[in-house]
Amino acid sequence: MPPDARMRARALGTTMNLDPGLQAAFDPAPFNPISPPLEDDWLAQHEERGQTFDMYVRGRPNRPGGERRTLYLVPIGPPSGPSIQVLAEFARAHFQMPVEIMPGMPIEATGAHVRDRGDFQQLLAPDVLDHLKTRLPRDGYALIGLTDVDLYPEDSWNFVFGMATLRERVGVYSTARYHPSFYGEEDHYPAPEHWVMRRSLKVMAHEIGHMFGMEHCTYYECVMNGSNHLEETDRRPPHLCPVCLRKLHYAIGFDPDKRYRDLERFFRKNKLGPEADWVRARAEAIESRR
């Protein structure tokens, strides 16, 4: 059963000691509580305790500091899917940190085990992560690999959209299943490139979020919700709920108003109108309280 209002309030923690702008940023009223999971959804098949803001702080998560202040993106294998420059632009707005793109690497360089699935191949995600740990630059807070090759986490699993470490600050995600053509359904999707873009942004934000020590969200509809399949991914918003936004703010210390304004510019530029309208409303709410 989804958490009730009292449990959600406990997850957010007290905001009475914060300035009015931050109180507005973490106001739960505009956010939708998480819905009961459908039969095949993540929370129907995975038991998760939930991570409150206070639990997050007590866990002493990784935080940028010293020379480790840059997020790095690295393409793995032939380029495909959304432009990595566009993905980097989104990451700069979402995380409010410097983002750099590393030279691409061939799949063979990862040393990852390859599983043959007939019509396509898959990379063993933990193998990729082991290699990326050796490639994290000295000034890098985190490194995420982007590939068009499908991923799987272990032999008993069919696939995984992405995978990241909570402590070692590396991750990888695949765009292989984002395009409707993977399932032979491209004729049913208007503007399929926008579907690929939305899915890519969500999963990248989700996996990098793990690198800040954020566990799956069980309180609100949030980009940090777990996901078992594309339909579930598509139902999730691309934004952080108030609990997870507060966690990320604790880790980085950004200005929430500026963050939402930067995200609005990105969404408008890339013709993602509903997303742009939502973040603009949040920015206006924060500005009105200052």
pLDDT at 82: 82
Whether the CB-CB separation of 70 and 100 falls below 8 Å is answered with yes
DSSP-derived secondary structure letter, 283? H
pLDDT at 187 exceeding the cut of 70 = no
CATH of domain 64-210: 3.40.390.10
Q: Which helix (H) or strand (E) holds 173?
A: strand 170-174
Whether the CB-CB separation of 51 and 78 falls below 8 Å is answered with no
pLDDT at 189 exceeding the cut of 70 = no
Percent of the chain scoring above 70 in pLDDT? 97
Whether the CB-CB separation of 69 and 139 falls below 8 Å is answered with yes
pLDDT at 152 exceeding the cut of 70 = yes
Task: Give the residue-averaged pLDDT of 235-239.
Answer: 95
Read off the pTM: 0.92
Task: Give me the DSSP letters along 88-101.
Answer: HHHHHHHH-S-EEE
DSSP-derived secondary structure letter, 16? T
Which amino acid type is present at position 226?
G
Task: Give the residue-averaged pLDDT of 66-70.
Answer: 93
Domain segments of the chain as ranges: 1-61+214-290, 64-210
- Residue for token digits 């406990």? 10
pLDDT at 287 exceeding the cut of 60 = yes
The pLDDT tens digits for 85-123 are 999 999 999 999 999 999 999 999 999 999 998 888 999
125: β partners: none
pLDDT at 199 exceeding the cut of 60 = yes
pLDDT at 262: 98
Question: How many angstroms separate the Cα of 284 from the Cα of each of 5, 19, 276?
Answer: 25, 16, 12
Task: Give the residue-averaged pLDDT of 122-139.
Answer: 96
- Identify the CA nearest to 148 among candidates 186, 104, 113, 111: 104
Task: Give the residue-averaged pLDDT of 125-152.
Answer: 95
pLDDT at 164 exceeding the cut of 70 = yes
Question: How much is the mean pLDDT over the chain?
Answer: 93
Task: Give the residue-averaged pLDDT of 200-225.
Answer: 96
Task: Give the residue-averaged pLDDT of 277-285.
Answer: 97
Active site residues: 207
20: β partners: none
Task: Give the residue-averaged pLDDT of 134-139.
Answer: 95
Which amino acid type is present at position 123?
L
pLDDT at 186: 62
Q: Which tokens hold the place of 234?
A: 């598509």
pLDDT at 212: 96
Q: Is the dihedral of CA 222, 223, 226, 229 positive or negative?
A: positive
Percent of the chain scoring above 90 in pLDDT? 81
The pLDDT tens digits for 43-56 are 999 999 999 999 99
| Total Cβ atoms within 10 A of residue 39 | 6
- Calculate helix-pair angle for 192-211, 84-95, nearest 10 degrees: 50
Q: Is the dihedral of CA 202, 211, 103, 254 positive or negative?
A: positive
pLDDT at 79 exceeding the cut of 80 = no
